[in-house]
Structure 1
Amino acid sequence: MLYITIGIIVIGIFLFVKDYFTIDTTSILIMSLFIIAGVLSPEEGFAGFNHPATITLGCMFVISAAIFKSGLIDGLSSKIIQIAKLNYVAALMVFCVTAAVFSAFINDTAVVAILIPMALLVCRETGIAPSRLLIPISFSALFGGTCTLIGTSTNILVSSYAKESGLEPFGMFEFSLAALCLSVIGLVYMFFVAPILLPKRESKELLLKTEAEKYIAEIELQEINDDVDISIAKSRLVRKFNAQILSIKRKHTLVYEINGETTLRADDKIKILIDPANLAKLREIESYHLIGNQSIIDDHTEKKIYEVMIPYGSVLAGKNLKELNFRNQYYASVLAVRQRKEITTNDVSHIKLREGDLLLLLASTKSLNALTAEKLMITLSEYQGAKFSLKRAIPTLLILIGVILAAALNFTSILMSALVGSLLIVTTTLMTPKEAYEAIEWKVIFMMAGVLSMGKALEKTGGSDIISAYVYQNLGDLDPRITISVIFLITFLSTNVLSSKAAAALMTPIVISLAGAMQLSEKPFLIAVMFACSLTFMTPVSYPTNTMVYAPGNYKFNDYLKIGTPLNFIIWIAASFIIPLFFPF
């Protein structure tokens, strides 16, 4: 069974690296392979769904969402933006500190999702390049997340796994001092070294719009045209020439709420997004009278151009616009898509969307609000904070403080305090049950449940003992600081190509076995895994917040290597001394 386990884990690592499927799909696939192969029983395989770490994380999603819904952070936005507009140094410091502080207590991806539009607003009004601010915001959020037990899902996972293995779980602030030391080092790097290394690169928003405009044309539908009295979805414009209809002017009146069922009429003036090859073919057909190339929208239309981003956890990720029936569902048109460095304006309906993608969206305010309310997209081109509600903010903040104190003072476990806190959020009507359900990032829950099966399989088949024995044979006679340093190095290098949760699930049982073999305390080794999984800066895929800032900051892959690699190695060396200082062997 051990060889089968290793084989399945290798397949999993390959799929994680190649990114053939979404990360949650890969995690569930690995879990299923363990069950099918007989390595784990169905009960053991699915145990990840009722694992304390998974349940705690789900409850914390609800509490975090309630904080954001109250407008608490947005209530501070005017002050944050006011300070940031002073100069670049002020902007860098206020955004980094804000990201670090809030990420210590609430979902770091949600914190970064709110700060990105704020930062872009400051950049537009001050002339600061977005690339000078967004990576520091992401990295600072990672530092903040290490400071408390609820700061990241990885912390919760490692602590819960330790408890299941018969060890003492970590307290709410047990490792905060060690994390703060590393955070100070990281923030000093952000303030003094990163500005030298960060590129000065403008936003892609204008380039996206310019590229899209190259493909815009306006035609008038003649009475003899076969598309007259035909629905958009069945028209030749769409089926044969692959055109995307953006607007229809009918007798000096704009037709709103266009979808696939909208019927075309004679003399309609139709604005389309079409590639040059098909436009050339269209010119040859007299019944399509080409009026000329036009701007994307007219001043009098209610639809506007918005730059939006697919956030972490969006259900749009992993699907294309065609299978989502996006146009009919949301009455909005995607004009262009930017994935990493690639900008696509031709046949965008077949592009598989990914988290962190930038989209140029033609939509009404109503349609955009529907998309953002469902957390399908984040608006980048216009910052509009949630309305601050003191009536909601005070009880929500008190519940969060209660959850933290109850766990910190050992009145109860973090699982119980988070569970009670999320129930209070719903029962006091701060959020409806539907809103609470939608607040949970189910993709992360499924990923967590899936990756937990890897650690369970390693432990059950004795793989963790064999690996730890091998490490012990080679490093057991050395100073424990060297051993913990090697563990930290292996973990953060793994996390830069795997997900942080997958790396934590694999490394946790191994380091518990290793500490037992060396007859040392498990805590410094577990802290090393915890920190190494969160403090990963070398690639845009190493952590969700790094992915989120990639496109809005107009970064290149090498930017992360250039800025993140020195930081990762500084943190590695510092952690090798700081962790044993606070957690003796």
Structure 2
Amino acid sequence: MQSISVDLMILMTILLVTLILFVWGRWRYDIVALFALLAVAITGIISFDQVFLGFGHPAVITVAAVLVISRGLTKSGFVDVISRYTSRVGDNIVVQIMTLTGLVIILSAFMNNIGALAILMPVAIRMIRKSGKSPSLVLMPLAFGSMLGGLITLIGTPPNIIIATFRDQYGTGPFFMFDFAPVGLGIAIVGFLFISLVGWRLIPQREGQADHALIQIKDYVTELYIPEKSKMIGKRVRDLEAMTEENVAVVAILRKEQRFPAPSSRRMLREGDVLILRGESREFKLLADSAELGIVENKRYKEDLLRSDDVSIIEAVIMPHSLMVGKSARNLQLHSNYGVNILAIARQGRRLSARLGSIRLRSSDVLLMQVPTDKMSDTLSTLGCLSLAEREIQFGRPRQVMLAVLIFGSAILVSFLNILPIQIAFTCAALAMVAFGVLSINEAYKGIDWPVIILLGAMIPVGQALEISGGAQMIANTLLEIGGSIPPYLALLIILVITMFLSDLVNNAATAVLMAPIAINVALGLGVSIDPFLMAVAIGASSAFLTPIGHQSST
């Protein structure tokens, strides 16, 4: 039995606490990763001068560059040019799922899978709603397809990049661009066929409100007017909303021949203004009494009154890293700070009927919102929301599309021919996206998923500490002792299953960082090549199909 040093005991305790915090989800994964990094530094397991070396690791640089390039491809209109043809596939549900899943697999092999998913989700929702079916039938296949596509190439998903650098550290050189394809492509094809022909039929159909019911807000809207001598004359919109603690929102003002959708919280109220309000009936009655407002008898409400060239109505889902998680609309002051009105909230397929201003928002909640059109992209990015059903898809100029594709293709070719290391080639491509005007500098920085970068930069030194301390060797020896004289293929299966299980609970990049050194030591203990074991970790880390928390696509 291998003796355990004090440093190893401390490291294992830190890793155990880290895994518990990852699963618990109380703090975001990048914060947990920083905790683990600082803990191994403060306890002396790694030296202070090595603490932040992970942020300059080739895997971190490559992931950041790929995210910028993906943003460039999206901004140029390249993905939209491809996705617009999906609307021609007809109303057959099997053909729709095959088309959408196949397209997201192809796109995810060469760009960030979250980016590919974000572009295709509005297309999928519009397509399935035209067929009169629930969007849930296509959203899960789309999410799974984005994960399958990432298995095919080196840049498809962060775990592949991490695994390639681990291989390089052991003197056998890194995996190259298409080294994952013989395994990843086979799995992607099998997964594609299963999802398209069988899997979608197993998706549970929730009873109750249909997914499109979120759009129907008529029952939650009323019209009040400001009569002569009302105390609200000369007051501002924010003063009126404050009277109900923002549980009632002014979603439009009708003033003679003018209308103001999503009026500014600073807009002055005048005599005769007709206010279109979103809320609940009991709130309307209280507001009418306290604010001295009159009830409009001949109501003119229709959804078009809530939008204009300057104001759009969109559906958006709250992402896990959103600043909205755990807060209410009142806490966030969405109307005052962002010009946003929440019109409806759906959670797990059901519309919430409670006071919208008081509801604490959760990851994966779907919101129907009024958003300033010219600030829509920036507002959603700031709030941490992903648009589900924008009314139109914007197409880039042909020159921008060709330029983005040329830059991206050149980076792949240079990497494939081994002219430059992938981190250098793709950093050059990211810089070219900015230099040639495909992206602005601000757009490039916004394209980087900083929590993932922090996670990788923090966890890589932790993974190295696991190797240096002998922890990886100890775990590998324990697995081999438990299994006795197990054949290599069975050991490979064990590594794959453990990695798959862990990736369902922990971020896939963190899973790859922790499992790679263990897999390598198991392979060395068996006296076989490390390549199949590293490939098993790569596949397992990107196979978080069982839970909604293992991968951002599922969330």
Fold conserved (TM > 0.5)?
A: yes
- Classify 1:364/1:417 alpha carbon distance in 2 versus 1 (closer, same or farther; 3 Å): closer
Q: After TM superposition, give the deviation of residue 230 of structure 1 in Å.
A: 3.2
> Bigger shift: 327-336 or 191-200?
191-200
Q: What is the match of residue 32 of structure 2?
A: 26
Superposed CA offset, 1:53-93 (max 9, x none): 1111111111111111221121123322212x152222122
Percent identical: 27
Q: What is the match of residue 421 of structure 1?
A: 429
Match 2:269 to one of 251, 256, 264: 264
Conserved 8 A contact 1:247-1:270: yes
Superposed CA offset, 1:216-269 (max 9, x none): 233233455544433333447535574222222344533456233333344433
- Classify 1:214/1:86 alpha carbon distance in 2 versus 1 (closer, same or farther; 3 Å): closer
Conserved 8 A contact 2:259-2:305: no
Superposed CA offset, 1:403-461 (max 9, x none): 22222222221111111211222222222222212211112212222332431332233
2:100 is aligned with 1:108: no
Q: What is the match of residue 198 of structure 1?
A: 203
Instruction: Measure the CA separation in 1 of the matches of 2:252 and 2:82.
Output: 39
Q: After TM superposition, give the deviation of residue 166 of structure 1 in Å.
A: 4.2
1:427-576 aligned within 5 A? 427-547=435-555
Q: After TM superposition, give the deviation of residue 487 of structure 1 in Å.
A: 0.7
Match 1:117 to one of 122, 136, 141: 122
Match 1:76 to one of 82, 91, 95: 82
Letter in 1 for 2:528: L
Conserved 8 A contact 1:62-1:439: yes
Superposed CA offset, 1:487-526 (max 9, x none): 1111101111111112112111211222222222111111
- Classify 1:106/1:246 alpha carbon distance in 2 versus 1 (closer, same or farther; 3 Å): same
2:396 is aligned with 1:388: yes
- TM-score relative to the length of structure 2: 0.89
Instruction: Measure the CA separation in 2 of the matches of 1:456 and 1:167.
Output: 18
Q: After TM superposition, give the deviation of residue 402 of structure 1 in Å.
A: 1.9
Q: What is the match of residue 338 of structure 1?
A: 346
Q: What is the match of residue 248 of structure 2?
A: 243
Q: After TM superposition, give the deviation of residue 155 of structure 1 in Å.
A: 0.5
Q: After TM superposition, give the deviation of residue 477 of structure 1 in Å.
A: 0.9
Q: 5+ unaligned residues in a row in structure 2: which ranges?
A: 1-6
Q: CA RMSD in A?
A: 2.9
- Classify 1:345/1:53 alpha carbon distance in 2 versus 1 (closer, same or farther; 3 Å): farther
Match 1:254 to one of 234, 251, 259: 259
Conserved 8 A contact 1:297-1:304: no
2:71 is aligned with 1:65: yes
Q: After TM superposition, give the deviation of residue 127 of structure 1 in Å.
A: 2.5
Q: What is the match of residue 192 of structure 2?
A: 187
What SS does the aligned partner of 2:104 have?
A: helix
Q: What is the match of residue 417 of structure 2?
A: 409
Q: 5+ unaligned residues in a row in structure 1: which ranges?
A: 548-585
Instruction: Measure the CA separation in 2 of the matches of 1:252 and 1:260.
Output: 21
- Classify 1:180/1:537 alpha carbon distance in 2 versus 1 (closer, same or farther; 3 Å): same
Instruction: Measure the CA separation in 2 of the matches of 1:33 and 1:107.
Output: 31
Conserved 8 A contact 1:69-1:386: no
Letter in 2 for 1:176: A
- Classify 1:244/1:540 alpha carbon distance in 2 versus 1 (closer, same or farther; 3 Å): same
> Bigger shift: 313-322 or 247-256?
313-322
Conserved 8 A contact 2:247-2:356: no
- Classify 1:51/1:236 alpha carbon distance in 2 versus 1 (closer, same or farther; 3 Å): closer
> Bigger shift: 530-539 or 71-80?
71-80
Instruction: Measure the CA separation in 2 of the matches of 1:446 and 1:353.
Output: 25
2:137 is aligned with 1:137: no
2:173 is aligned with 1:173: no
Corresponding residue pairs, total: 545
Conserved 8 A contact 2:246-2:357: no
> Bigger shift: 479-488 or 167-176?
167-176
Superposed CA offset, 1:357-401 (max 9, x none): 311112454454554687954443345223132212222212222
Q: After TM superposition, give the deviation of residue 313 of structure 1 in Å.
A: 6.4
2:224 is aligned with 1:216: no
Conserved 8 A contact 1:49-1:446: yes
Conserved 8 A contact 1:306-1:363: yes
2:46 is aligned with 1:40: yes
- Classify 1:471/1:119 alpha carbon distance in 2 versus 1 (closer, same or farther; 3 Å): same
Conserved 8 A contact 1:331-1:367: no
Superposed CA offset, 1:149-206 (max 9, x none): 1110111112223323544211111121111222222122123321431345698543
Q: What is the match of residue 3 of structure 2?
A: none
Conserved 8 A contact 1:476-1:518: no
Letter in 1 for 2:86: I
- Classify 1:347/1:401 alpha carbon distance in 2 versus 1 (closer, same or farther; 3 Å): same
What SS does the aligned partner of 1:76 have?
A: helix
Q: What is the match of residue 21 of structure 2?
A: 15
Q: What is the match of residue 286 of structure 2?
A: 281
Conserved 8 A contact 1:63-1:422: yes
2:135 is aligned with 1:127: no
2:100 is aligned with 1:92: no
Conserved 8 A contact 1:67-1:393: yes
- Classify 1:343/1:43 alpha carbon distance in 2 versus 1 (closer, same or farther; 3 Å): farther
Q: After TM superposition, give the deviation of residue 291 of structure 1 in Å.
A: 3.4
Q: After TM superposition, give the deviation of residue 476 of structure 1 in Å.
A: 4.9
- Classify 1:143/1:348 alpha carbon distance in 2 versus 1 (closer, same or farther; 3 Å): same
- Classify 1:430/1:235 alpha carbon distance in 2 versus 1 (closer, same or farther; 3 Å): closer
Q: After TM superposition, give the deviation of residue 349 of structure 1 in Å.
A: 4.4
What SS does the aligned partner of 1:546 have?
A: coil
- Classify 1:385/1:247 alpha carbon distance in 2 versus 1 (closer, same or farther; 3 Å): closer
Q: After TM superposition, give the deviation of residue 320 of structure 1 in Å.
A: 4.9
Q: After TM superposition, give the deviation of residue 335 of structure 1 in Å.
A: 1.6
